[in-house]
Structure 1
């Protein structure tokens, strides 16, 4: 290389370094879903179409509607096996249809308030973990329905750590903690406190827009936490009436049909680096009376409409 070529090459390198780059060296472009509309895979929580005749029918409905993933319940897995089904085979069918299983709901009664009750719960906990692993799930939800009221945060955090270890070491699952207004552990803040105090790098939480609202924990704390702390994000809207203290799960409505600040929530999720599933979770008995394929189709369409409005 002569002097002129050396100077030209140096100038070109300086220009590249000085120009703004969208991605850092070695990074990959952001993966998009739903024909580029969404930065997150969109999942169908099977409660949304609960009256469907079987888990296999729910899988078919989700695939036909165009979801990326499906989130079943432990009772559905148990029923599927009781009727002679093989969950590993079903997991393969789900994959062949272009879906995946990000989470299974869930580990009920897994965090009781005494050592004796905890040890008694392990048989059921392990069976639920086994079923989730068989179907190919990435996470399993740890449900604090029996922690005690009031609960001992130190005890719950220690037992949640045990659950994390068991799930990972024995079933290759990630155990994530949920919060529900109707349980003693009600808010995202309370769930995050338990996750932090578990003192484990595998600790995760599962926020739910509906319970963030009706627990009155609110939405403005989202920017304070990392998206990497979340396993999945449950998504629905809430109506203007009845009053917030009278709202039940049956009042959930399609995204965009209610009063929740879902656009801002999605913008915050993108800003904090959340990159896992948005899962549509509805328990509305009025929807259950309708054609369930249309319910799934409408839920996906309305979810994507909110995502478009958020500009993420």
Structure 2
């Protein structure tokens, strides 16, 4: 597997603590990377998840992200499908995105791609391949593998093996890297559970997608992030959460701008930086209160608040 795929000490490190001097050794061995984004304000490119600015069209969302000053844009599969159905050319749109100075780090996503039986798995492949093809056409590097159909009391090895197969299909047939995501509202709920799937898939290109909001509401917590190596992360989903309702009563509609909630985002970003992660931080807000506002202003405010938290973190 690729060097430092998940943990400096290997999978066993998930259950252990760091050895004395390990942090210094990690810092010495990590390749230097002084490249920064957002006029030097961020060590990571900042991405806009397009659900943040519903109900604009995909074309409008690209324009809004560009004008607001984002580095990248993360669309959803349904938008890509709608764009094609209305006569749009995803390859041409991908070219336009690139010409604007943006890129597509990820597409959301591969729904229903990890069902619990062989029959359902085989039946799911047509839609999985269609979604991969659309993501590849727009120029995406990754696509999110969403565990909405793994089933309660899922078989970890079955899910890991099917994720391995999905990674193989993505890489070999579409030149795209599928990554596994976790969602509190699905059976695979936590960062640890997603990491277990990726590790047990035994694939050198297995990747995970942390999400600050779901790390909080799933009660998996934030401390596991520092145990990961940044090369295991495809994209980092970023949002804050309000102090009320309680965490177990929150839904995605409660996501708020970074810095407007109670999450320890500065500590999270410091831990993320220490992992050596070099991919995108993606602003991901599904708050309907924002959708009723001027969407250009929502995008600009989201970027400014994200950068403010990054600056406060001192990374």
TM-score, normalising length: structure 1: 0.91
Following superposition, which runs of at least 4 residues in structure 1 exceed 6 angstroms of deviation? none
Aligned to 1:157: 160
State how far apart, in whole Å, the 1-side matches of 2:289 and 2:228 are. 35
State how far apart, in whole Å, the 2-side matches of 1:24 and 1:260 are. 30
Q: Across the two proteins, how many residue pairs are aligned to each other?
A: 288
Matched, 1:203 2:219: no
State how far apart, in whole Å, the 1-side matches of 2:152 and 2:146 are. 14
Which residues of structure 2 form unaligned runs of 5+? Answer: 1-26
Q: Deviations over 1:14-42 (max 9, x none)?
A: xxxxxxxxx989x6652100000000000
State how far apart, in whole Å, the 1-side matches of 2:34 and 2:123 are. 45
State how far apart, in whole Å, the 2-side matches of 1:257 and 1:28 are. 33
Matched, 1:70 2:73: yes
Q: Deviations over 1:37-78 (max 9, x none)?
A: 0000000000000111x1000000000000000000000000
Which residues of structure 1 form unaligned runs of 5+? Answer: 1-22
Matched, 1:141 2:144: yes
Q: Give the Å deviation of 1:298.
A: 0.2
Choose which of 177, 180, 198 in structure 2 pairs with 1:177: 180
Aligned to 1:115: 118
Provide the alpha-carbon RMSD of the alignment. 1.2
Aligned to 1:46: 50
State how far apart, in whole Å, the 2-side matches of 1:35 and 1:140 are. 28
Give the greater-gyration-radius structure (CA): 1
Choose which of 34, 37, 40 in structure 2 pairs with 1:30: 34
Larger relative contact order, structure 1 or 2 (CA cutoff 8 Å, min sep 6): 2
State how far apart, in whole Å, the 1-side matches of 2:32 and 2:221 are. 34
Q: Deviations over 1:145-194 (max 9, x none)?
A: 00010100010000000000000000000010000000000000000000
Q: The residue matched to 2:237 in structure 1 has which SS?
A: strand
Matched, 1:292 2:295: yes
Q: The residue matched to 1:221 in structure 2 has which SS?
A: helix
Aligned to 1:266: 269
State how far apart, in whole Å, the 1-side matches of 2:116 and 2:199 are. 19
TM-score, normalising length: structure 2: 0.90
Aligned to 2:227: 224
Choose which of 116, 129, 134 in structure 2 pairs with 1:131: 134
State how far apart, in whole Å, the 1-side matches of 2:116 and 2:35 are. 42
Aligned to 1:244: 247
State how far apart, in whole Å, the 2-side matches of 1:221 and 1:139 are. 23
Q: Give the Å deviation of 1:225.
A: 1.1
